[in-house]
């Protein structure tokens, strides 16, 4: 039988493991420790939490470091909780090694205190990526002397958008003798990182390893671009117990959708780059303790956020990068829970789903956008379930029962239920009474089966299937003094002008966006409605000017602009 002593670790560490009641090494420890003790071999350990992986790298790390007081080893992990847990275990292991210092550095805590701790010269620093980069930039930590880098829960770190930070750390540890990477899954991005920064790593697998996170159900709904917002609302309404993150491409979208949903009574706040650290912490605090049900964020703003128990991730728009999709969806379905990642797509984006399926080795499920009736039924039963599970054990309800019984003597149980439902649902039912079908119904099945190439061609030729203005297809060209400098993307701009004008996307031709201005091709019959709806209105305190570019006073596009 293998023992810790037999694995060759320092006698002081053996004593500590005995004190902790560890009798025999676990599978990952038995296989990893002999390799890691050399200190010179790169290593990949595929193991989940609970397998004893912290001791698998922690014991060898304490074994190989020298008494000199300067950072020699760096353990990088995704979250503050894990960071503290690792330090706690290392502290227990180093019980008989009084000269060894271990310091934790992570976001959301005083950086001043952490800088003071680092000044004491710990041999091991356990860090989350964001805070570590911050400390490097402040020159509070010197990576020059780092010999060992451990990446713990590497897949989670990549899921949370820390890939660039990890690469930065690996690039800036010139004396790195070996890199030890631990991960529960082995997605292609981790392979890429290991190929780039590790030399013939020894690889050990404990238990089953997935390439993609199978605990996430990837779903999508197909709608028209101008129905995105309504579709989002319907998805939220159809999932009354949702605790989710919605991703948008731009901060303007995040902010506007958040404001609009808040006005409509939803429990949501936005996380975007314009918030101060204090505001950001406040929003995150509310979301974390579930006093906020929904968070809407851009990828940049959501970088590194770590919240347990997310039920849904919603892509308001699909990201361009498959990697970004993986980061987003990885926020749900964690720690053994099931999660759902929903994407709202329009028919021209279906080929992108194919790409994601291929690269991520996952499968998308197309669902019909629920009808108003579906939503009402779902809400109704959710409410009734809540009613049934209400805790009545503490209130002084018994006192009132005789009076209530008298008051309701003539009302049947069914009527009481109906009345309760009416009070709760009146507004809701009215809203959904004539709700339109938001599903994009034409041709979508055929398009989802298109080859990626067909799809790409169609996407590249945006507007190919519409009449071309220059060929005299009955289109007008409108000038508007809004452009990318106003924070618009083509998709968000399109949505903005359609929302404002209440027109359908089909009336539009090509849209040409510049920094300060844009030109919009639009069917002649719809041009005036668009102008009436936008011209003279305010956008972020600026007056919108829109007119017919060919007959009105708008600046004509310069040669090469259109």
Pick from 3, 6, 34, 49 the residue near ligand AMP by CB under 6 A: 49
Q: How does strand 538-539 pair with strand 542-543?
A: antiparallel
**183 near ligand AMP, judged by CB under 6 A:** no
DSSP designation for 465? T
Instruction: Find the angle CA(178)-CA(182)-CA(185) to the nearest 5 degrees.
Output: 140
Instruction: Find the angle CA(10)-CA(12)-CA(14) to the nearest 5 degrees.
Output: 75
Pick from 51, 379, 481, 492 the residue near ligand AMP by CB under 6 A: 51
Shortest spacing between CB 289 and ligand AMP, in angstroms: 25
Q: Hunting for tokens 């939490």 — which residue is that?
A: 49
Q: How far apart are CA 225 and CA 253, in angstroms?
A: 13
Q: How far is CA 52 from CA 24, 97, 205, in A?
A: 11, 21, 13
Other C-beta atoms lying within 10 Å of the C-beta of residue 404: 11
Which residues contact residue 535 at a Cβ distance below 8 angstroms, ignoring those fewer than 6 apart?
A: 544, 545, 546, 547
Q: How far apart are CA 295 and CA 266, in angstroms?
A: 11
Pick from 53, 131, 327, 328 the residue near ligand AMP by CB under 6 A: 53
**224 near ligand AMP, judged by CB under 6 A:** no
Part in contact with ligand AMP (CB under 6 A); list of ranges 43-51, 360-368, 378-386, 391-399 = 43-51
Pick from 7, 22, 189, 334 the residue near ligand AMP by CB under 6 A: 22
Q: How far apart are CA 353 and CA 220, in angstroms?
A: 9
The token pair at 356 is 């994601």
100, 94 Cβ separation under 8 angstroms: yes
Pick from 9, 42, 43, 52 the residue near ligand AMP by CB under 6 A: 52
Q: How far is CA 525 from CA 206, 228, 476, 510, 530, in A?
A: 66, 24, 9, 16, 10
Subset of 335-354 contacting ligand AMP (CB under 6 A)? none
232, 246 Cβ separation under 8 angstroms: yes
Shortest spacing between CB 51 and ligand AMP, in angstroms: 5
Residue closer to ligand AMP by CB (options 47, 169) is: 47
Shortest spacing between CB 339 and ligand AMP, in angstroms: 22
Part in contact with ligand AMP (CB under 6 A); list of ranges 51-59, 317-325, 423-431, 442-450 = 51-59
Shortest spacing between CB 129 and ligand AMP, in angstroms: 20
Nearest alpha carbon to residue 530 among 512, 503, 504: 503
Part in contact with ligand AMP (CB under 6 A); list of ranges 53-61, 96-104, 287-295, 451-459 = 53-61
**8 near ligand AMP, judged by CB under 6 A:** no
**50 near ligand AMP, judged by CB under 6 A:** yes
Pick from 54, 231, 362, 492 the residue near ligand AMP by CB under 6 A: 54
Subset of 67-106 contacting ligand AMP (CB under 6 A)? none
Shortest spacing between CB 82 and ligand AMP, in angstroms: 9
Subset of 504-533 contacting ligand AMP (CB under 6 A)? none
Residue closer to ligand AMP by CB (options 88, 363) is: 88
The token pair at 400 is 């009132």
Residue closer to ligand AMP by CB (options 13, 246) is: 13
Subset of 465-504 contacting ligand AMP (CB under 6 A)? none
Part in contact with ligand AMP (CB under 6 A); list of ranges 25-33, 236-244, 517-525, 532-540 = 25-33
Pick from 32, 55, 157, 252 the residue near ligand AMP by CB under 6 A: 55
Q: How far apart are CA 417 and CA 459, in angstroms?
A: 52
Nearest alpha carbon to residue 236 among 246, 249, 248, 226: 246
Nearest alpha carbon to residue 311 among 270, 339, 349, 283: 339
Name the residues that contact ligand AMP, by CB under 6 A.
Answer: 22, 25-26, 29, 49-55
């Amino acid at each position: 039988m293998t023992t810790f002593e037999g694995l060759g670790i320092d006698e002081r560490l053996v004593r500590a493991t005995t004190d902790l009641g560890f009798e025999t090494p676990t599978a990952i420890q038995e296989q990893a420790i002999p390799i890691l003790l050399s200190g010179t071999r790169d290593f990949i350990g595929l193991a989940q939490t609970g397998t004893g992986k912290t001791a698998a790298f922690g014991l060898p790390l304490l074994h190989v470091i020298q008494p000199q007081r300067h950072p020699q080893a760096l353990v990088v992990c995704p979250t503050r909780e894990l960071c503290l847990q690792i330090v706690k275990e290392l502290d227990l292991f180093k019980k008989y090694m009084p000269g060894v210092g271990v310091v934790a550095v992570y976001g959301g805590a005083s950086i001043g205190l952490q800088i003071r701790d680092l000044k004491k010269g710990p041999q091991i620093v356990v860090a989350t990526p964001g805070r570590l980069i911050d400390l490097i930039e402040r020159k509070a930590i010197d990576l020059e002397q780092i010999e060992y880098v451990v990446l713990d829960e590497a897949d989670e770190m990549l899921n949370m958008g820390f890939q660039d930070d990890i690469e930065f750390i690996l690039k800036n540890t010139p004396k790195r003798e070996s890199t030890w990477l631990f991960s529960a899954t082995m997605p292609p991005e981790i392979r890429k990182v290991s190929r780039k920064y590790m030399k013939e790593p020894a690889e050990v697998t404990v238990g089953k390893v997935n390439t993609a996170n199978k605990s996430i159900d990837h779903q999508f709904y197909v709608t028209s671009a101008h129905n995105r917002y309504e579709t989002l609302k319907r998805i939220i309404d159809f999932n009354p117990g949702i605790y989710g993150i919605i991703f948008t491409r731009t901060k303007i979208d995040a902010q506007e959708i958040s404001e609009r949903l808040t006005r409509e009574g939803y429990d949501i706040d936005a996380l975007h780059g314009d918030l101060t650290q204090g505001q950001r912490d406040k929003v995150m605090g509310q979301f974390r303790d579930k006093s906020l049900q929904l968070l809407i964020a851009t990828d940049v703003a959501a970088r590194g956020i770590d919240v347990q128990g997310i039920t849904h991730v919603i892509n308001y728009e699909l990201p361009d990068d498959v990697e970004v999709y993986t980061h987003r969806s990885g926020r749900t379905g964690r720690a053994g829970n099931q999660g759902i990642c929903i994407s709202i797509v329009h028919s021209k984006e279906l080929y992108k789903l194919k790409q994601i399926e291929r690269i991520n080795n996952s499968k998308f499920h197309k669902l019909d956008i629920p009808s108003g009736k579906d939503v009402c039924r779902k809400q109704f039963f959710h409410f009734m379930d809540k009613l049934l599970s209400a805790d009545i054990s503490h209130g002084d309800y018994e006192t009132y029962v005789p009076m209530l019984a008298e008051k309701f003597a003539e009302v049947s149980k069914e009527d009481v239920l109906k009345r309760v439902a009416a009070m709760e649902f009146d507004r809701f039912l009215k809203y959904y009474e004539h709700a339109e079908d938001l599903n994009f119904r034409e041709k979508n099945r055929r398009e989802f089966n298109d080859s990626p190439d067909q799809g790409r061609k169609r996407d590249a030729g945006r507007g190919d299937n519409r009449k071309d203005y220059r060929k005299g297809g009955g289109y007008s060209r409108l000038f508007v003094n809004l452009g990318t400098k106003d924070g618009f993307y083509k998709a968000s701009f399109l949505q903005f002008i359609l929302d404002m004008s209440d027109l359908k996307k089909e009336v539009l031709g090509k849209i040409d966006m510049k920094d300060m201005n844009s030109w919009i091709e639009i069917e002649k019959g719809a041009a005036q409605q668009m102008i009436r709806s936008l011209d003279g209105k305010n956008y972020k305190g600026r007056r919108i000017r829109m007119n017919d570019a060919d007959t009105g006073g708008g600046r004509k596009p310069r040669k090469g602009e259109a």
